[in-house]
Chains A and B, each alone.
Chain A
Amino acid sequence: MIVASRKNIKDLKEMLAQHKRILVLGCGTCVTVCLAGGEREVGMISSALRIAYKLDEEEHQIDELTIERQCENEFFEDAIEAVQSVDAVLSLACGAGVQATAERFPNTPVYAGLDTKFIGILQEQGIWTEKCAACGECVLGEYGGVCPITRCSKSLLNGPCGGAKNGKCEVSPDQDCGWQLIYDRLKAIGQLDRLEEIFSPHDWSKSHEGGCRKIVREDQRIVTKV
């Protein structure tokens, strides 16, 4: 899932100060699961904003709504009326959701209420960790299912670097050495021989470095080009 965390209420208050009627729009998918932008968080952030504005004796109307998904156009059907009745939208979705909302409502200012952090998992209750850098060319199969690009701080494809101590990365003692994880995993599945292979440099043109990416699936498209 995409993992995000909320922005500070003071910053949100300043960011939205020029708008009198604001819709706090939650997203029911990833950010609900990572407890940053779902219905409950919409309620809390709206409440905090109302308090903050009232303290400044400013009149602001803060509406609340959470839709199933902000990254797909069809789910905006439920939000059209609510968006049309406000001056601005504070989207509590990931960066993709915020932009989809802005594209769907071209004449309404849309602001991001969250900081989108990474693609990750719920490691344990209350702890989310990054697992994928969306590099565009997955190499997990070669490394026993542990991503060297994400899990190694230096994204080394031919590691380790030699800086790890007791299985921890030299960048931070809180961080596991990605290459230690790769070694342990390959050992556990009996594929240590994979480490003998030398991998060529990653093709970064397939990651964000190659520009904003797009996938076109003609078999899925409804409108056919004649």
Chain B
Amino acid sequence: MDNFEPKILALCCHYCAYAAADLAGSMRLQYPANVRVLRLPCTGKVDPSYIMTAFEMGIDGVLVAGCLEGGCHFQEGNLRAKKRVGLVRDMLEEAGIEKDRLEMFNLSSAEGPRFAEIVGIMTERIKKLGPSPLRRKLEVSV
């Protein structure tokens, strides 16, 4: 699996992680190209079904990136997202997918380097875990 390049979905809050990703680009920072960014108005918009559906379709990992705790533009959207991520992690494990394939991160819009670091951390973690067991099954069946 040395050449395995994971597909990772990044559910990013418009006010922090998405802006930080933008900043990382402006700063010409290098980070793994494994991540697909999906912008949301707030991580409080993350519905557990978004994550479940992504895994069902064979994604290798999902990262949810919201504002620093206490810094949510909608007061507590990121805190709610944190709890929902916990719920989905449990459900994924019950279904047979490693819960570490899903993680929540917090950062501010000024932290372009942190965004690059988060993508690096998640990519390394998923590379170690290997392809999603579901993706492996889907590819075999194809």
Contact = CB atoms under 8 A, between A and B. Distances in A.
Contacts of B38: none
Contacts of A220: none
B79 to A, nearest CB: 12
Interface string A32-52: 000000001001100111111
Interface-central residue, A9, A40, A51, A57, by most chain B CB under 10 Å: A51
Contacts of A8: 94
B55 interface: yes
B45 to A, nearest CB: 14
Interface in A9-55: 9-10, 40, 43-44, 47-52, 54-55
Contact of A9 (B48, B56, B95, B133): B95
A54 B49 contact: no
Contacts of B96: 51-52, 55-56
Interface residues of A, number: 16
Contact of A57 (B47, B52, B137): B137
Contact of A40 (B49, B94, B134): B49
Given A44-B91, A57-B137, A57-B141, A51 B48 contact: no
Contacts of B140: 57
Nearest to B88: A44
B138 A54 contact: yes
A40 to B, nearest CB: 7
A45 to B, nearest CB: 8
B12 to A, nearest CB: 22
B26 interface: no
A55 B95 contact: yes
Contacts of B133: 55
B75 interface: no
A55 B138 CA distance: 9
B36 to A, nearest CB: 19
Interface string A63-87: 0000000000000000000000000
Given A9-B95, A51-B96, A51-B97, A44 B49 contact: yes
A40 B88 CA distance: 13
Contact of B137 (A47, A48, A54): A54
B53 interface: yes
A47 B55 CA distance: 9
B22 to A, nearest CB: 31
Given A9-B91, A51-B134, A44 B48 contact: yes
Nearest to A10: B94
Nearest to B138: A54
Contacts of B138: 54
Contact of B95 (A40, A43, A48, A57): A48
A48 B134 contact: no
8 contacts: A8-B94, A9-B91, A40-B48, A44-B52, A47-B52, A51-B52, A51-B56, A52-B95
